[in-house]
Structure 1
Amino acid sequence: MSATPKKVKKTVSFSRNSPSLSDRNPSTEPGSPVAESGFDFADDEPQIHELPKPSPAFLLLPFHSLAIVYALFYHYNISSKVISALHSSTLAVLTLQFGFGLITLTTIKNKKRAKKHRGPNGGELMYLVISSLISGFAAVPIFLVLLVFGAPIGSLSEETAFLALHLSFLTVFPLLLVYKFTDPDSGDTWIRLLTFQVPAFYRNQIYLQAMGALVGCWFGVIPIPLDWDRDWQQWPITLLAGAYVGSFAGSLIGYLYSIFE
């Protein structure tokens, strides 16, 4: 007759010398740092780093914006013939903006390399041309945004389209010169630009130039409904003038803040 096997009584010891989970995994001991476990939630917190920005420069001030406003009123007589003035001034405005783009690229490059009198090379000129084309196409979504915000439709659609084109070259074009679409991280950069996630924006002369144009255009709406019965209250004269003046004011604020802080 076979012997009945003895039952082994299993016990759990909590003595100091007994192995425990803390012995097998020292990272679980009180006060010990968390070892590469993937549970460091601080790494998951979004961190917004400052976007690169050009050094402040007097040459980056868009003085041509003030010249355009003067020409629209006193040369093209936009107060009495809006459409005709917008058509006639388009080529001159685009030429001035393209020239300012050349100055901007040259100034930014010379600041980075600490060299003077170095103009843009062939690749940079090609980039400038492509940026101009992109800015022209960007007028389409800007036109739609203007309609969403209450721009008149119908007989004034052409005036709104010209306003969108001007706004595109005042906002998208200068930003493309600094935040190039050829950069490796351009996608993330432009998402942050379009969603206004720009830390220390008051130090960014080019970004303030673009934002100043939008703010100036916004304030330009104010005189239109006022019962003054003036010729210059026609759509979109005050918005256009406000955008150009705001563009210069924004760039000037960024320049002055950067050199006097």
Structure 2
Amino acid sequence: MSSARKKVKKTVSFSRNSPSLSDRNPSTEPGSPVPESAFDLADEEPKLNELPKPSPAFMLLPFHSLAIVYALFHHYNISSKVTPALNSSTLAVLTLHFGFGLIALTTIKNKNKAKRHRGPNGGELVYLVISSIISCFAAIPIFVILLVFGAPIGSLTKETAFLALHLSFLTVFPLLLVYKLTDLDAGDTWIRLLTFQVPAFYKNQVYLQAMGSLVGCWLGVIPIPLDWDRDWQQWPITLLTGAYVGSFAGSLISYLYSIFE
């Protein structure tokens, strides 16, 4: 009995159900190039996420800064007696800052919850008091920074300490109202704030207020060495004035930008 092998006929199907070359995944084919889209995510640089910021509001404008400048010159007469004026105005200045904190907390709370006429509760008032205490202690490192940048010591040490206290309530205090230390990501947030890693900072009304006070204080150094022999050129009157005017200007610029954007 003879047996013959049956020849198997090879056929190629051109039916629609069979995969074509265009349907094949090139990444599974040996020697095929890796598509460019595979490198898209790897080539992109990581973007810095924006910090949460309060909605711009008219009530967040620090009008108390202008009131403090007016009181220092016209009520406490800081031009003729610097140290006594700084001493006697401390309680009033801290009270005005605390009042601004109440307004800011109420405004931020109402904006977030879309409700009106709701003031801070007991826990928020306690946090406001703690923020004031923290701001007082924050004046110590600010005082050291001022000395590093050339602030006078010796007979003017007390005036420099008062300047540090004012700067602390112009910078640290308003930021504590928005970026609370009780938040879960408070550590990372404050590292970014202190290292100026704030994207679109001009849209952040409170942050630009703090930065405006620093810029104004820096610009306030300019009139001191000028040979004008004016009473208001004494240390640290021009720096203090520049810091308060700069804080209001920074907040106003951010607020106007949000309106006309």
The total of aligned residue pairs comes to 234
Other-structure match for 2:141:
141
Other-structure match for 2:32:
30
Deviation at 1:42, TM superposition (A): 2.6
After superposition, where does 1:1-261 map in structure 2 within 5 Å? Answer: 26=28, 30-32=32-34, 42=42, 45-261=45-261
1:199-221 CA-to-partner distances (Å, cap 9, x unmatched) read 11111100010000000000000
Deviation at 1:127, TM superposition (A): 0.6
Q: Distance in 2 between matches of 1:201 and 1:98?
A: 24
CA contact (8 A) 1:86 1:162 kept: yes
Q: Distance in 2 between matches of 1:44 and 1:125?
A: 44
Q: Distance in 2 between matches of 1:95 and 1:123?
A: 19
**CA shift in 2, pair 1:40/1:29, >3 Å:** farther
Q: Distance in 1 between matches of 2:120 and 2:42?
A: 44
Deviation at 1:164, TM superposition (A): 0.2
**CA shift in 2, pair 1:222/1:33, >3 Å:** same
1:28-49 CA-to-partner distances (Å, cap 9, x unmatched) read 8534579xxxx99739943301
Other-structure match for 1:13:
none
C-alpha RMSD over aligned residues: 2.0
**CA shift in 2, pair 1:253/1:27, >3 Å:** farther
TM-score, length-normalised on structure 1?
0.85
State the AA in 2 paired with 1:196: F
State the AA in 1 paired with 2:179: Y
1:109-159 CA-to-partner distances (Å, cap 9, x unmatched) read 100000000000011001101111110000000000000000001110100
**CA shift in 2, pair 1:32/1:78, >3 Å:** same
Q: Distance in 2 between matches of 1:79 and 1:30?
A: 80
**CA shift in 2, pair 1:235/1:260, >3 Å:** same
CA contact (8 A) 1:27 1:33 kept: no
Other-structure match for 1:18:
none
State the AA in 2 paired with 1:114: A
Q: Distance in 1 between matches of 2:253 and 2:71?
A: 24
Q: Distance in 1 between matches of 2:214 and 2:137?
A: 18
Secondary structure of 2:151's counterpart equals coil
Q: Which runs of 5+ in 2 are unaligned?
A: 1-26
State the AA in 1 paired with 2:105: L
Q: Distance in 2 between matches of 1:158 and 1:176?
A: 26
Q: Distance in 2 between matches of 1:211 and 1:95?
A: 22
**CA shift in 2, pair 1:119/1:27, >3 Å:** farther
Q: Distance in 2 between matches of 1:27 and 1:162?
A: 73
Q: Distance in 2 between matches of 1:215 and 1:170?
A: 12
